[in-house]
Amino acid sequence: MRPIRKAQIRVVDFGSQYTQLIARRVREMGVYAEIVPYHSPWEVLTAGLAEGTLRGLIFSGGPQSVYQRGAPTVCPEVYQAGIPILGICYGLQLMAHQLGGQVVPGPIREYGPARVEVETPDVLFQELPPTFQVWMSHGDRVERLPPGFQVLAHTEATPCAAFADPRRRLYGVQFHPEVAHTAYGRDILARFVFDVCGAARDWDLAAYMRELIAWVQARSQEGDILVAVSGGVDSTVLARLIHEAAGDRMLAVFVNNGLLRQGEPEAVQANLRDRMGIPLHYVDASEIFLERLRGVTDPEQKRRIIGDTFVDVFIQVTRSIRPFQFFAQGTLYPDVVESGASLGPSAVIKTHHNLVEAVRSMGMEVLEPFRELFKDEVRQIARLLGIPDDVIHRQPFPGPGLAIRILGEVTPERLAILRAADAIVEAEIRLGGWYERLWQSFAVLIPVRTVGVMGDERSYAHVIALRIVESQDGMTADWVYLPEDLLRRLTARIVNEVRGVNRVVLDVTSKPPATIEWE
Ligand code: XMP
């Protein structure tokens, strides 16, 4: 539950990895946009149309071909509804296909950068240069235009790189205006949103935050609110916002699962309780987590056990404190949206659902004030609430913690080795001024043993891998080549200071094909 906003722009998701980016770009322009799956019922697809609050639709890209059996589609009445539509990639092809044009496999696939040449500087391309770079990702192309449409732009390989039927306010671009590699992508989206749809700027995070606070304040009159915190950015900001709204009618609960980094339980408590004045209940449940993980080596089984144990511990703790009417958690928009690209790591989803079900069965109502927000929007709210910068800029840390960074069984000895190595990585990366420039930088324990010489003796000890990546959103990532002296210092410190490690290796794989975590 949370205050509901009326979307002016609705993004219809056909499964593109960029769907969320489209909605974010529109919001960055100050216009509230939401995402719905392509198979949404008519009432959802067109909600707000009759009242005039919905101003336009954007059809996302998608991995399929429109002419394949069972390819995603929308009810064709939408083209007659008088609402402006912008189709992107698959979205353009779907419009062509449904409106009487023809889409065929192209002679060559076009992936990556291409130069677009504008033929008609119609609304979308007004005042843009006649040629510029765009980002393409498609195998099909429009062979025959639907009646009423004209080509607006082409590339060398694609005769129809953009089209329009301005009379019906239907537009399409074969390239991706939402990605940073398309020059003027934001301008093209803005032309559609403002000039074609006539949307007004209505999305102001500071105003939305005030609405959230007022709403939580009203709810807190009905009963006390429990907030689950992990120490990460989202739940910390949530706890701070709820504290602002509900004061002592809220309590944050932080469960130590025994899989946290060195000094983390203390740091999280100090941040929340001492620096932000948030009432906090801390539970050290390390033993039960480690007990249940004993002998387990399969990564997905580790995740399941950790998720289920968290639910058990949390519910038990909650019962022991005092009755709460509400349970709040920092679920974000990407966790909610039913998009192929937004399903995220399965454990998060599973734990989330398990916890929500358990909480409901105890008679508590679930509050998810950040359900409409993207992570960068939560960071902006954090700034508005005066949350310290170092908390806002913490690197993401997975729910299953160090368990998925120890290959094989999680034991207290292995945890101790990884914690010590990881603490050195973090300290050196911070000292070198790299911490905030990286998406994640951490150590992984590979518990195979290799031979080494230390002093005059041969050693036979474990390997630490360094995983250091940059990324925009965790969906794709690239490894980072740190300065050699920093790498040397890091490595030397790990093998000298961490007992049980005699070798350090560097992971130089991007995502895809590898993932960021090792399990
Ligand atoms: P991968 O390893 O899939 O990670 O490239 C992408 C991002 O998600 C985080 N991650 C997780 N977060 N539970 C979480 O809460 C998980 O099971 C999990 N697995 C990966 C990872 O740290 C990275 O930021």
Helical segments of 89-202, H only:
90-98, 185-190
pLDDT-derived band at 2, boundaries 50, 70, 90: low
Does the global pTM surpass 0.75?
yes
Q: Are 124 and 164 in contact (CB under 8 A)?
A: yes
Within a 10 A sphere around the Cβ of 214, how many other Cβ atoms? 12
Q: Is the pLDDT of residue 335 over 90?
A: no
Q: Are 151 and 162 in contact (CB under 8 A)?
A: yes
Cα-to-centroid distance, 358 and ligand 1 (Å)? 24
Within a 10 A sphere around the Cβ of 206, how many other Cβ atoms? 10
Ligand 1 contact, 438 CB (< 6 A): no
Domain 9-196 CATH assignment equals 3.40.50.880: yes
**Which of 189, 184, 17, 187 lies closest to 116 in space, CA to CA?**
184
CA distances from 316 to 51, 252, 313, 321 (A): 47, 15, 5, 9
Angle between the N-to-C axes of helices 205-220 and 375-384, in degrees from 0 to 180, rounded to the nearest 10: 80
Q: Are 424 and 490 in contact (CB under 8 A)?
A: yes
Q: Range(s) for CATH 3.40.50.620 in the chain?
A: 205-392
Ligand 1 contact, 348 CB (< 6 A): yes
For 497-506, what is each residue's pLDDT tens digit?
Answer: 999 999 999 9
Q: Range(s) for CATH 3.30.300.10 in the chain?
A: 405-506
Ligand 1 contact, 148 CB (< 6 A): no
Number of residues written out for the chain: 519
Cα-to-centroid distance, 74 and ligand 1 (Å)? 33
Cα-to-centroid distance, 391 and ligand 1 (Å)? 19
CA angle 452, 457, 463 (to 5 degrees): 25
- Residue that the structure tokens 């959103």 belong to: 473
CA angle 106, 340, 143 (to 5 degrees): 20
pLDDT-derived band at 351, boundaries 50, 70, 90: low
Torsion over CA: 73, 78, 80, 86 (sign): negative
Please give the number of the atom of ligand 1 that sits closest to the Cα of 517: 2
Q: What is the DSSP string of 485-509?
A: HHHHHHHHHHHHHSTTEEEEEE---
Ligand 1 contact, 269 CB (< 6 A): no
For 219-263, what is each residue's pLDDT tens digit?
Answer: 999 999 999 999 899 999 999 999 999 999 999 999 999 999 999
Domain 405-506 CATH assignment equals 3.40.630.30: no
Q: Are 98 and 73 in contact (CB under 8 A)?
A: yes
Ligand 1 contact, 515 CB (< 6 A): yes
CA distances from 235 to 164, 239, 357 (A): 44, 6, 19
Please measure the distance between the N-terminal and C-terminal CA atoms of the chain and give it in whole angstroms: 33
CA distances from 40 to 36, 45, 76 (A): 7, 6, 13
- Give the residues across from 441 on adjacent strands: 468
CA angle 25, 31, 36 (to 5 degrees): 70
For 77-87, what is each residue's pLDDT tens digit?
Answer: 999 999 999 99
- Mean pLDDT over each residue of the chain, to the nearest integer: 93
For 427-482, what is each residue's pLDDT tens digit?
Answer: 999 999 999 999 999 999 999 999 998 888 899 999 999 999 998 778 778 999 99
Segment (H or E) for 305: helix 299-321
pLDDT-derived band at 346, boundaries 50, 70, 90: very low
For 146-184, what is each residue's pLDDT tens digit?
Answer: 999 999 999 999 999 999 999 999 999 999 999 888 999
Q: Are 182 and 101 in contact (CB under 8 A)?
A: no
Ligand 1 contact, 474 CB (< 6 A): yes
For 388-401, what is each residue's pLDDT tens digit?
Answer: 999 999 999 999 99
Angle between the N-to-C axes of helices 412-431 and 484-497, in degrees from 0 to 180, rounded to the nearest 10: 150
Decide which of 2.40.30.110, 3.40.50.620, 3.90.1150.10, 3.40.50.1950 is the CATH code for 205-392: 3.40.50.620
The two tokens of residue 181 are 């590699």
For 75-125, what is each residue's pLDDT tens digit?
Answer: 999 999 999 999 999 999 999 999 999 999 988 888 888 999 999 988 999
Q: Which residues are catalytic?
A: 89, 176, 178
Residue in 517, 518, 519 to alter for ligand 1 test, most ligand atoms within 8 A of Cβ: 517
Cα-to-centroid distance, 203 and ligand 1 (Å)? 30
